[in-house]
Structure 1
Amino acid sequence: MSIEAQKEKQLIIDEIKGKLEKAQSAVVVDYIGITVAEADSMRKKLRDANVDYTVYKNTLVKRAIEGTKYEGLAEVLEGPSALAFGYEDAVAPARLLNGIIKDYKKMAFKAGVVEGTLFNADGIQAVASLPSREELIAKFMGSIQSPVSKAVRTFQAIADAKAE
């Protein structure tokens, strides 16, 4: 192998390591069977959600994840594999890819690491059904707002009754 080829591979390994350091999650999928048009559409959906989807050689990914919290992914890096990195919402890659897998009826989860926890394909499927951070905050705010609103209406009714 030439020195140029080695340097090129090291650049790719460093790129993967950089993405993993910033990522809250990484999901590995088998992308076999999708067309170029489907891949482009999928990449746009993922990009819009700040999810980075890239296909790398398995051997380079294995070298990049050595000694990291993503090391457990090495056992599923066989055959066609693509990585989706989530930077803002740890659940976003799994949730978005799950929708895409259902729409295209192609591809499959292999495994993933979400906030340092390794999940097999079934585990990532379960993670994909979790609501987003924004949905959880909205539900929480709604649940605490309801009793407060009720109390305000009650106090207003008491004030109105005393004013009469």
Structure 2
Amino acid sequence: MLKSKKAEVIEQLSNSFAETTAVVICDYKGLTVSELEELRKAARAKDASVQVVKNTLANIALEKAGMTGVELKDTNIFIWSNEVINAPKVAANFAKDNEKLVVKAGYLDKEAADAAQIDAYAKLPGREELLGMLAATWMAPLTNLGFGLDALRQKKEAEA
């Protein structure tokens, strides 16, 4: 790879990493091309990005983005997103079906995180799920009131 191309990759990655809240680093050794495409499709569905990057270039880009504390070894694929939960969810969900993808480490809100922390974030409910839970909580009193009024109506009808 030419130096100019390397500089372009570093610049693009450092800008992307600087704007994200979650970067997950996984080992992808043994995955086929079609499996990698499935991972990319799953990431696109969650507004996340996936890219295989050389460790030296990734180290420079991460350092420029203000992320330090994770040592990169062997083969790595990077999954990142603007929502802190999306990248860990993509990695964890894909790793369930493909044991060849192994979550190594990452960055959550620009802080280094190990695989256990990333797994914990992956188990959190997403924004839509949380909004649904909130709406159900707000609607519960009205629903109960409706059931109560209907029961009262049925009782009055039975008495009459």
Query: Which category of TM-score, normalised to the shorter sequence, fits these structures?
Result: 0.7 to 0.9
Structure 1 residue 63 displacement after superposition: 0.8
Q: In the TM superposition, what whole-angstrom CA distance separates every residue of 1:101-150 from its partner, at most 9, and x where no partner exists? A: 11012111111222233210111111111111111111112112112333
Which of 115, 125, 130 matches 1:131?
125
Structure 1 residue 153 displacement after superposition: 5.9
Taking the aligned partners of 1:76 and 1:34, their CA distance within structure 2 comes to 22
Taking the aligned partners of 1:145 and 1:69, their CA distance within structure 2 comes to 43
Aligned partner of 1:77: which letter? L
Aligned partner of 1:43: which letter? R
Taking the aligned partners of 2:71 and 2:139, their CA distance within structure 1 comes to 45
Task: From the superposition, tell whether residues 150 and 105 of structure 1 become closer, same or farther in structure 2 (CA, over 3 Å).
Answer: same
Which of 76, 81, 88 matches 1:81?
76
Structure 1 residue runs of 5 or longer lacking an equivalent are none
Aligned residue for 1:65? 62
Structure 1 residue 154 displacement after superposition: 5.5
- Which range is displaced more, 61-70 or 15-24? 61-70
Q: CA RMSD in A?
A: 2.4
**What secondary structure does 2:25 align onto?**
strand
Which of 108, 113, 127 matches 2:107?
113
Structure 2 residue runs of 5 or longer lacking an equivalent are none
Aligned partner of 1:120: which letter? D
Aligned partner of 1:137: which letter? L
- Which range is displaced more, 145-154 or 43-52? 145-154
Aligned residue for 2:28? 31
**What secondary structure does 2:2 align onto?**
helix
Structure 1 residue 83 displacement after superposition: 0.6
Taking the aligned partners of 1:61 and 1:128, their CA distance within structure 2 comes to 23
Aligned residues: 156
Which of 36, 41, 45 matches 2:42?
45
